[in-house]
Chain A
Amino acid sequence: MRDVVGLALIFGGLFFVLVSALGLVRFPDFYTRSHALGKSDTLGTILVLGGLAVYGGLTLSSLKLLLILIFVGLGNPTATHALTRAALRSRHEIWSRREGGKKE
């Protein structure tokens, strides 16, 4: 039972890691790509680490996995924010459909 739940979480996480990789390729500009790190990759990491913690059972290592999970959940959005902020401060323009933008 625990194995099944853990595996389901791991594969769910794998899907989102895949989505973030795809997003990094397909999105047209930096700001849209940052959504891949800020969201998809964070959730993917949380799911995979959570799945591994469930799979491992209640051990010290699983608790440490939860610590990494909290750290990534706090650090990833902050890093994304720091980067997008730096880009905005440097007047990096956003891609917009209305202005018929071309993929960078």
Chain B
Amino acid sequence: MIHRYQGVVVELVSRAVVPAIQVFALYIITHGHYSPGGGFQGGALLAASILLLRFTQGRKESYRRFPPGAGFALAALGLLIFLLVGLASVARGGSFLDYAYLPWPWASPETLRYYGILVVEAGIALTVWGTLVVVFDQVGTRTRDV
């Protein structure tokens, strides 16, 4: 399924578009509480950009950029970030994901909430990104020889 795309048109346009997609995805992630979106949508867009590269650059190129195992690592890292932030506030006597209780005493609750949400959204995005790419890779390699 994943072979080098001989068409120069799609390949070059994808190369031009992918950085823009990723910047847009990061915007969606970091501005989650001002505009629609957030971690999940941003992660899905990041995964879409990787899929575009998978399809237009061929297996070898694309696996060098984003190895098949990286998806698992990203998903695990995202989950770890989410749990750490959540449990950090529990450890200081708040409830799960209560940003005001984060162990960063010199910051105001306002600032804490902003950075807490940002980090949690980033964790969610990493998880979604990694999971979607892993799902695609599994499906892609299963059906390749059919």
What residues of chain B lie closer than 8 Å to A82, measured between beta carbons? 7, 9-10
A sample of 17 inter-chain contacts (CB < 8 A) reads A71-B17, A71-B20, A74-B13, A74-B16, A74-B17, A75-B13, A75-B17, A78-B9, A78-B10, A78-B13, A81-B7, A81-B9, A81-B10, A82-B7, A82-B9, A82-B10, A85-B7
Given the complex of chains A and B, what is the CA–CA distance between A71 and B13 in angstroms? 10
Given the complex of chains A and B, what is the CA–CA distance between A18 and B13 in angstroms? 28
Nearest CB of A to B133, in Å: 21
Interface string of A49-89 (1 = CB under 8 A from B): 00000000000000000000001001100100110010000
Nearest CB of A to B46, in Å: 17
Prevailing SS type, chain B contact patch:
helix
Question: Interface of B with A (CB < 8 Å)?
Answer: 7, 9-10, 13, 16-17, 20
Given the complex of chains A and B, what is the CA–CA distance between A71 and B9 in angstroms? 15
Q: How many residues of A contact B (CB 8 A)?
A: 7
Given the complex of chains A and B, what is the CA–CA distance between A93 and B16 in angstroms? 32
Given the complex of chains A and B, what is the CA–CA distance between A82 and B20 in angstroms? 20
What residues of chain A lie closer than 8 Å to B20, measured between beta carbons? 71
What residues of chain B lie closer than 8 Å to A71, measured between beta carbons? 17, 20
What residues of chain A lie closer than 8 Å to B17, measured between beta carbons? 71, 74-75
Given the complex of chains A and B, what is the CA–CA distance between A18 and B53 in angstroms? 34
What residues of chain A lie closer than 8 Å to B9, measured between beta carbons? 78, 81-82
Given the complex of chains A and B, what is the CA–CA distance between A26 and B121 in angstroms? 48
Given the complex of chains A and B, what is the CA–CA distance between A81 and B9 in angstroms? 8
Given the complex of chains A and B, what is the CA–CA distance between A30 and B7 in angstroms? 20
Given the complex of chains A and B, what is the CA–CA distance between A81 and B13 in angstroms? 11
Given the complex of chains A and B, what is the CA–CA distance between A78 and B9 in angstroms? 7
What residues of chain B lie closer than 8 Å to A78, measured between beta carbons? 9-10, 13
Which residue of chain B lies nearest to A81 when distances are taken between CB atoms in the complex? B9
Nearest CB of A to B27, in Å: 11
Given the complex of chains A and B, what is the CA–CA distance between A41 and B9 in angstroms? 20
Nearest CB of B to A73, in Å: 11
Given the complex of chains A and B, what is the CA–CA distance between A75 and B14 in angstroms? 9
Which residue of chain A lies nearest to B10 when distances are taken between CB atoms in the complex? A82
Nearest CB of A to B83, in Å: 35
Given the complex of chains A and B, what is the CA–CA distance between A82 and B16 in angstroms? 16
Nearest CB of A to B14, in Å: 8
